[in-house]
Amino acid sequence: MLTAVVTRGLAVEVRFVTVEEEGEEHGSEKMSYEESKDFCEFPYETEEEYEAEASAAHPCLEGPSPLAVEVKELAWGAGAFVVLALLMRFWLFPAVKKGMDARYALIRDGHEAADTARGAARAEVAEYESALATVKAEANERVDAARQTLESERAARLAEVNAAIAAKREAAAAEAAASRQAAEADVASAATEVAARTIELATGKAPDAAAVRSAVEASMNAGVSS
Amino acid sequence: MVLALEFPPINEILRWRDLFPTFNKVALIAVAASLISIVIFLLAARKDGLKAPQGVRNLAETIVEFIEEQIIMPTMGRHGMGWTPFLLSLFLFIYLCNLPGIIPILYMPATARIAIPMFLALLVWVIFIGVGFKHQGPAYIKNSLFPPGVPGPLYILVAPIEFISTFLVRPFSLTVRLFANLLAGHILLVTFSLLTEELVQGDSLVLKPVGILPFFMLMFITAFEVLVGFLQAYIFTILAAVYIGGAAHPEH
């Protein structure tokens, strides 16, 4: 039946062997003095001492528990840490931190400058908006004034034009009335002449011109009125 | 038939030969963690801090801001900023000691051995007690053991509990939490690595394809260990900040 054992050399190895082989393995497991000396802490100072006193098992197997404090590890570990802590406390950390603080201060100053600039810009914007509002109000006033002026001028011009038109209309109406009267007089005169001639031809004697004219005018007036 | 896989003893998977006398891999990782932190901040400090941070400077500033904003401000408030260098060192050192657990060739978190977590926990313990005495004087002990608002007779129970939890359990829990998490992760990685290797390289044609399963677990646990390494460094650091902040300003 197979079981498993560990063999040990300069490095840890494992392999599976039979139960029968296991005894042989353990029997031949003892390493040479040189191999053992290189492998771990070694309690034997001479090869003779090792051969005489070391058991078949590797001497390293009998080493201290991992819970046992190794003085050399404690000393080197403590020394390394103390050196690091002291250098960090008095030199390395302050040097790095100084740069960090300087940069943070620079950034903080930059932020403050940016805040100041932002405040100034906002004030300028407010001032500009105020000026813009004033200018707009002034412009509106001027536009309103111009509009009123234009309106009054337009009204005045309109009144003038209307008056001129009315005058021209009256003149035209008067002229038309005069022309009409003249035309009516001409028509009445012509009609009187035609009526007087017609009567003269019919009666053989000339009628009274005033009576004929009066009759014609009465007839024309009656026609207009009707 | 395969019945079992004998796992190497924990001592063995955590033991590395000395690189030279008194200096092993854990010591190497600890020194490297310290040096890497120093180099990062050294390079960052040499760059112009007034310009927008880039590269290593950005990394350093991100870590500093993480410590200040995510650890100090919630636990100690603005007056805790003086502790930034210490907590920064603590976080970086622990994180960089955790990280080699998933880095090929290294594959060993220095915090999976108890020495470094224990030293750091004891350091934090000494510091928060010292801070307590500095800010409150001898009344620190009284304030710690006899919290206000508790009915008098209950102090018989509360005082010993407070003593144990504040002065004994804190360093122990800090140590064990970090050490045990990293050790467990390391053991899991070794387990699935060995299992994958044995199944894939074994003679059995039936077992070879099965090796993909522990391989996927290995990938998953490796990714998980990235999170664990960061999380444990963060937890250790934030607890240190809580302890120090609590000792300096008990009303918080």
3-class secondary structure for A18-60?
EHHHHHHHHHCCCCCHHHHHHHCCCCCCCHHHHHHHCCCCCHH
Nearest by Cα to A73 from B60, B4, B114: B114
Confidence tier at B177 by pLDDT (50, 70, 90): very high
For B200, which residue in chain A has the nearest alpha carbon?
A: A15
Residue A132 located in a structural domain:
no
Report the distance separating Cα A26 and Cα B28, nearest Å: 33
Among A68, A85, A107, where does a domain finish? A68
Residue A41 located in a structural domain:
yes
The mean pLDDT of B168-195, rounded to a whole number, is: 92
Determine the distance in angstroms separating the CA of B28 from the nearest CA of chain A, rounded to an integer. 8
Residue A133 located in a structural domain:
no
Among A68, A93, A113, where does a domain finish? A68
DSSP state for residue B103 in the 8-state scheme: S
Looking at the predicted structure, is the pLDDT value of residue A10 above 80? no
Among A47, A68, A89, where does a domain finish? A68
Cβ-Cβ contacts under 8 Å, B64 against chain A: 93, 96-97, 100
How many A×B Cβ pairs under 8 Å? Answer: 183
Question: Which carries the bigger pLDDT value, residue A11 or residue B217?
Answer: B217
B61 touches chain A (CB under 8 A): yes
Question: Which carries the bigger pLDDT value, residue A3 or residue A154?
Answer: A154
Q: 3-class SS at B24? A: coil
Phi, psi of A3 (to 5 degrees): -135, -170
Cβ-Cβ contacts under 8 Å, A97 against chain B: 64, 84
B93 touches chain A (CB under 8 A): yes
Residue A25 located in a structural domain:
yes
Residue A56 located in a structural domain:
yes
Residue A64 located in a structural domain:
yes
Domain that holds residue A28: 2-68
CB A76 within 8 A of CB A62: no
Question: How do residues A185-225 score in pLDDT, each as one tens digit?
Answer: 888 888 888 988 888 888 888 888 888 888 888 888 886 55
- Domain definitions of chain B by residue range: 10-248
Cβ-Cβ contacts under 8 Å, B35 against chain A: 80
* Total domain count, chain A: 2
